[in-house]
Structure 1
Amino acid sequence: MLITDPWFYALAIPAFLLTGISKGGFASGAGNAAVPLMSLAIPAPQAAGIALPVLCAMDISALRAWWGKWDMAQLRATLPGAMVGIGAGSLVFGALSDAAVKLIIGVITLAFIARSLWLERAGASRKPAETSHAKGNFWGGVSGFTSFIAHAGGPPLAVYLYPLRLERARLAATTVFFFASINYVKLVPYFFLGALSVQNVLTSLVLLPLAPIGIRLGVWLSSRVDDKLFYRIIHVLLFVTGCQLVYEGLR
């Protein structure tokens, strides 16, 4: 049966729009707000199941917008590790309690904000890093794992990609290709783990129109508005959500 709780949709609709804007290339490292916000209204594993089909639809639109602009060297350095991370995530996904998943999401969210603020202060004075398959596969693996648990793979991937100082369009396109690849791989274990139930898929279909809207907004904003304001909004939103999720996870 379809979720009808108004509070859920009050959280899910802006969350998916913000996620789509980010996937569209505007503040492409802003993170995925969908699961953290929806987890305030429903169990975190259910929120992850609802989010995945919508994210896959967003990936199609985002790939079309950034087609061919990704950095293949960085994808070769990160995707093999990501597949290992997905495998590890699938092994523990069903064993974690809702409180444990909320705690993990909350900690990841707060760690992402802390690191983003640190990079904002220190990044300008650093020289671009070089491609490293060892570092790329490690952080790609962490990203695959956290992405499987809560679609929160952005922060770990950013740990590897941001120091490379890729050109803005190349960074956005590489991020889009990376997550499109792992999101479609995740569909298989999500199905067998029961995360793609009839209720979850029906709810995903209701939210699906937000995918192209968010992507188009992101592409439009990426050439017209500076990222800083959007980052600040996302950081405030995720900070409050992260604190709430950590609180609920520790109760």
Structure 2
Amino acid sequence: MTAISFDPLFFAVAVPAMIFAGVSKAGFGSGPAFAAMTILALVLDPAVALGLTLPLLMLVDAVTLRPYWRRWDWPAARDLIVGALPGVALGAALYRIADADVFRILIGVVALGFVGFRLAVHWQAIPARARPFGSRVGLLAGAVAGFTSFVSHAGGPPVAVYLLAGGLGKTTYQATTVLVFWAINIFKFVPYAFLGIFTADTMLGSAVLAPAALFGAWLGVRAHHVVPERLFFSLAYAALALSGAKLLWDGLT
């Protein structure tokens, strides 16, 4: 992997990227947080960006657990976390050979299709679902999230599709995503270390950018409590649509 050049261009790109990731993870369901990886890839090798961002994402997870403690939907979180374990294991096994673009395309299509479905229900073009998705869908969403989170920190859209269908309140939704990604990121840490994704440069970069990530988390928690529930979910669906479109674009190009 290439070394990190700690020059003004690096900080001009990396600091806003990590503030954005902190705000997204701490306040708005984690969906668009993976965009930080895309932004960092402008100045870093993708593998370096993976190693740099994981400790920062784990830091944000740790500091945002307390504000949302036990406010999550445990059955939904449990299904997603259990499903994520084999997804992370598969990501570790196939990391060197997996074509992440195929999964980006599939997730992008599902995310955009789900947003389209919810808009159609809102406009009464089709009837609403009688009940949320079941545990099997939760396990599958967790597996996909575990895999895509491992290879590109892009586990947000599968989790969002499953949770948004459940009709949760905004804080329950947010707390559930915090718990799920706290677990998934812990699952990823040891395989990342064995695969050599962490280096002295990435650890130094994580330490340097930690204040930006923490500031973003602080902003995100406060923004979550200020934004009305209807606006929150409008933003969540917009974030899902944008992240799905970005994944589809990245996969195709």
TM-score (norm 1): 0.83
What is the Cα deviation at residue 42 of structure 1? 1.9
- Measure the CA separation in 2 of the matches of 1:79 and 1:208: 26
Amino acid at match of 1:41: V
Quick one: which amino acid aligns to residue 165 of structure 2?
A: P
Mean Cα deviation higher: 182-191 or 23-32: 23-32
Q: 1:221 to 1:193 in 2, by over 3 A?
A: same
CA distance 1:181–1:135, change in 2 (3 Å): same
What is the match of residue 177 of structure 1? 179
Match of 1:67 in 2: 69
Contact preservation (8 Å) 2:34, 2:153: yes
Instruction: Give the letter aligned to residue 191 of structure 1.
Output: A
Distance 1:9 1:242, change over 3 A: farther
CA contact (8 A) 2:24 2:30 kept: yes
Q: Secondary structure at the match of 2:34?
A: coil
Q: What is aligned with 2:161?
A: 159
Residues in 2 aligned to 1:80 and 1:230: alpha-carbon distance in whole angstroms: 24
Q: Which amino acid aligns with 2:84?
A: A
State whether structure 2 residue 10 is matched by structure 1 residue 8.
yes
Query: Could you tell me which residue of structure 2 aligns to residue 195 of structure 1?
Result: 197
Q: In the aligned structure 2, how far is the partner of 1:112 from the partner of 1:12? A: 29
* CA pair 160-240 structure 1, distance change in 2 beyond 3 A: closer
- Letter matched to residue 204 of structure 1: S
One-letter amino acid of the structure 2 residue matched with residue 59 of structure 1? D
The alignment status of 1:45 with 2:47, answered yes or no, reads yes
Q: Counterpart in 2 of 1:21?
A: 23
Equivalent pair of 1:20/1:215 in contact (CA under 8 Å):
yes
**2:48 counterpart letter in structure 1:** Q
Distance in 1 between the 2:244 and 2:6 partners? 24
Q: Measure, in 2, the Cα distance between the counterparts of 1:147 and 1:218.
A: 21
Range moving further from structure 2, 1-10 or 17-26 = 1-10
Which residue does the alignment assign to 2:222? 220
Q: 5+ unaligned residues in a row in structure 1: which ranges? A: none
Give the match for residue 94 of structure 1: 96
The alpha-carbon distance between structure 1 residues 232 and 170, as it changes in their structure 2 partners (threshold 3 A), is closer
2:56 aligned residue (35, 51, 54): 54
Counting matched residue pairs gives 243
Superposition deviation, residue 184 in structure 1: 1.2
Question: What percentage of aligned pairs have identical amino acids?
Answer: 33
1:50 positional shift: 0.8
More displaced 10-residue stretch of structure 1: 109-118 or 215-224: 109-118
- The question of whether the paired residues in 2 share the 8 Å contact of 1:107 and 1:242 is answered with yes
Separation in structure 2 between the aligned mates of residue 136 and residue 156 of structure 1, nearest angstrom? 9
Q: Which runs of 5+ in 2 are unaligned?
A: none
